[in-house]
Amino acid sequence: MSDESLYDRLGAHEGISALARTVFNNHCSNEVIKNRYVKSDPENVVQKVTEFMCAGFGGKEEYTGEDMLTAHTGMNISDEEFNAVVEDVMKALDTHEAGQREKDEILAALWSMRGEIVHV
């Protein structure tokens, strides 16, 4: 099994920014959550999410956004919305032909943040 970081296995900065863009596009066509992003600046969200993933997956990039609790506090995000985001990420990983190991690691990472995002 490869001992490369998740960052490298996903194609480093370029691969991860393409992934973040697909995730955002999926959110914008997902009926459960698309209204959450109507006022967003897509470039800003894609950039922040790219940095967040790069830094979390073993890259040297710095994450310049807010921590997950601060970013989502007051939105009253439901379980259904959280699951919709997870599905959009998994779909994006399929689009970019990520492997099962990468999908499993990311699913676990997303799940570990649930308490900072749902009903806060």
Residue 66 in contact with residue 111, Cβ under 8 Å?
A: no
Q: How far is CA 17 from the centre of its chain?
A: 10
Instruction: Return the residue of 19, 85, 98, 106 that touches ligand HEM, per CB under 6 A.
Output: 85
Interacting residues with ligand HEM between 6 and 65 (CB under 6 A): 33, 36-37, 40, 44-45, 48-49, 52, 65
Using the 8-state DSSP alphabet, how is residue 76 labeled?
Answer: -
Give the residues across from 77 on adjacent strands. 118
Residues that bind ligand HEM (CB under 6 A): 33, 36-37, 40, 44-45, 48-49, 52, 65-66, 71-72, 77, 81-82, 85, 110, 113, 117
